[in-house]
Structure 1
Amino acid sequence: MHGQRHDCPGHLRERPDGNDVILCATVDADATVDGLGGDDTIAVAGSVNGTVSAGAGMDHLSVFASGSVSGVVVGDGGDGDGGDGDDHITVAGVVTSSGDILGGAGNDFLLVGVNNGLVNGGDSSDYCRVASGNGPVGFEYPL
């Protein structure tokens, strides 16, 4: 993968057209991590209490098993009509009741462990699997 590697500060808005690798320990409630344009990889080792947005492009977003999502993880930049990339979103931990996983526009692939919140594939043809908890919405192909 080319582009730049960034360690995650509180707010990150860089390289609108770059293919970035963004690594975060956690994402605080008032923080936004935004990959903007490009085919980005964003990985969070701990909890997401703020917002992680991939932006336009074919992106990979991961929240590892030690983390939970009580904020928002979105594949297309958060507005539902901007980025239409085919995103891969994996949450190995727990999506809490206040957490949202949103694929947005594009043919997305979503894998979620425990879902107590909302998992929504969005527009286009999406593949989704939720291991337990609330079922996903807005998807065409269960895994």
Structure 2
Amino acid sequence: MIRHITRALCAASLVIAPLALSSPAQAATNCTVNGVPKSGNVNGTAGSDYIVCSSVDSGNTVNGLGGSDYIAVTGVVNGTVKGGAGSDYVQVNNVSPTGQVLGESEGDFLRAAINLGLVNGGTGFDVCRVSGGNRPLSCEF
């Protein structure tokens, strides 16, 4: 019985290992902008956008541009997230030491669970909530 289980496990590892090794590399910044998949540097539109990202890679920027945007990052922000012009709602899970979350112009609401980098409301009346780590800058409330 043990010999049959061992053979089955060995056979399974021969099938699974090549699949794991041959998986194509994907960009670390993967988002949807108004339901359309985007990767790398991601831009919204001049109007209001709904942007959701799994993470933001170092060297990449997610920019809402104009309008009142909703931007959410469920993983780590190693690059830059910009709300752009307009009253934006930006919610991120974790801002790394190299990461930035910038509200930019007008009144924004920024929320970060952990901020080890920079959260900055920018100009306008901004509301910022950071649960742990560095305090946000340029936030009136």
- Asked if Structure 1 and Structure 2 have the same fold, meaning a TM-score greater than 0.5 normalized by the shorter chain, the answer is yes
Is structure 2 residue 96 aligned with structure 1 residue 87? no
* Residue 53 of structure 2, aligned match among 31, 44, 62: 44
The alpha-carbon distance between structure 1 residues 129 and 4, as it changes in their structure 2 partners (threshold 3 A), is closer
The alpha-carbon distance between structure 1 residues 4 and 108, as it changes in their structure 2 partners (threshold 3 A), is closer
In the other structure, the counterpart of 1:75 is 83
Structure 1 segments of 4+ aligned residues over 3 angstroms from their partners = 46-49
State the secondary structure of the residue aligned to 1:8.
strand
Which structure has the larger Rg? 2
In the other structure, the counterpart of 2:140 is 140
* Residue 57 of structure 1, aligned match among 43, 63, 67: 67
Structure 2 letter corresponding to 1:53: N
Q: How many residues align?
A: 108
Is structure 2 residue 68 aligned with structure 1 residue 6? no
Structure 2 letter corresponding to 1:73: V
Structure 2 letter corresponding to 1:6: V
More helix, by proportion: 2
Q: Distance in 2 between matches of 1:89 and 1:95?
A: 12
Q: CA RMSD in A?
A: 1.5
State the secondary structure of the residue aligned to 2:110.
strand
Q: Distance in 2 between matches of 1:36 and 1:137?
A: 26
Q: Distance in 2 between matches of 1:105 and 1:113?
A: 22
Q: TM-score, normalised by structure 2?
A: 0.72
Structure 2 letter corresponding to 1:140: E
The alpha-carbon distance between structure 1 residues 135 and 106, as it changes in their structure 2 partners (threshold 3 A), is same
In the other structure, the counterpart of 1:130 is 130
Unaligned runs of 5+ in 2: 1-32
Q: CA deviation at 1:48?
A: 3.7
Measured against aligned partners, the alpha-carbon deviations of 1:31-62 in whole angstroms (never above 9, x if no partner) come to 21000311001001234431100000000000
